[in-house]
Amino acid sequence: MVTPDLSVSLGGLRVKNPVMSASGTFGYGVEFTPFYDISRLGAVVVKGLSLAPTPGNPPGRIVETAAGMLNAIGLQNIGVERFVGDVVPRLEDAGATFVANIYGKTLEEYEAVARRLSEVPSLGAIEVNASCPNVREGGMAFGATTGGIAQLTERVRRCTGKTLWVKLSPNVTDIASIAKAAEGSGADAVSLINTIVGMAVDHRTRRPELSNVTGGLSGPAIKPVALRMVWEAAKAVRIPVIGVGGIQNAADALEFLLVGASAVQVGTANFRNPRACVDILVGIEAFFREQRIARLEEYRGGLQREKIP
């Protein structure tokens, strides 16, 4: 059988396949070039970029949990200027399609980062991290309410002609309404979910395991939650939905595609296996060949509600 067509359009960005890295788990992409050709991926989504370099939180920043991990890295990054000057040329040399995840403490910071990245011709898309606390609103995350997500999306949309994805927080009561608010305010696609807020404590020392006390839970533990939220969002919006959360292998990725995701991002699995993304891609290709599925669209969103006899 001929090679399946896995290409998909994610807003204004068409990628060769639906497998991408998740921001914050893949560095800036170039760190993984010793392991495989990163241009094989649909896209490399780099770690979150801010206006100025950020040192992040002090140790401890990572704690292993029963079915995943908690992290409180604090969005450590080199800043948008150094990314544009030092990293972008290396990603271009690698032939990778790349997406910049951005964040800020204020709307103005988001706007400034988006404007700077809009000057990079080779950038495929901008992904807005909507889980950051708004310092002018008492620390409530921008993406915690429909009004907050709408305002953030609209403000960044005005600043850039780049394809715009918005990464949604799972720490909400109605993900469908949040996704619709992003869509209505100019998002070309939504990615979900970001990490779930959690914590770990040591009962002997009586102290939190993380210096920040709370952190983001990721890994296999969150996959059922992510699947449910992707399913709800995909039913609510017309724009592409990118599934994220607990994807460890090709079967996990296929489940997200089945419930309506147009593409997937692989995160925590990269810490355990630096080849996780490309291994998942190979697994999807093999499954499509086995099932004689010629195109991604033949499979995506094909969840059957009735029990198969």
Q: What is the pLDDT of residues 31-68, one digit of tens each?
A: 999 999 999 999 999 999 999 999 999 999 999 999 99
* pLDDT band of 78, cuts 50, 70, 90: very high
User: Residue 121: pLDDT above 80?
Assistant: yes
Q: What are phi and psi of 101, to 5 degrees?
A: -85, 135
- Give catalytic status of residue 132 as yes or no: yes
Q: Of 50-59, 112-121, 131-140, which gets the smallest average pLDDT? A: 131-140
Please tell me which residue in 38, 102, 128, 132 is annotated as part of the active site.
Answer: 132
Please state, rounded to an integer, the average pLDDT across all residues of the chain: 95
Q: What is the pLDDT of residues 226-238, one digit of tens each?
A: 999 999 999 999 9
- The pLDDT > 90 percentage for the chain reads 93
* Residue 15, both tokens: 């990628």
Cβ atoms 68, 46 nearer than 8 A: no
Architecture of the domain defined by 8-58+74-197+217-298: Alpha-Beta Barrel (3.20)
Q: For the whole model, what pTM was predicted? A: 0.96
Q: Is 271 exposed, middle or buried (0-12, 13-18, 19+ CB in 10 A)?
A: middle
DSSP 143-209: GGSHHHHHHHHHHHHHH--SEEEEEPPS-SS-HHHHHHHHHHTT-SEEEE--PEEEE-EETTTTEES
Peptide bond into 196 cis (omega under 30): no
Peptide bond into 60 cis (omega under 30): yes
Residue whose pair of structure tokens reads 């960005």 in the numeric block: 13
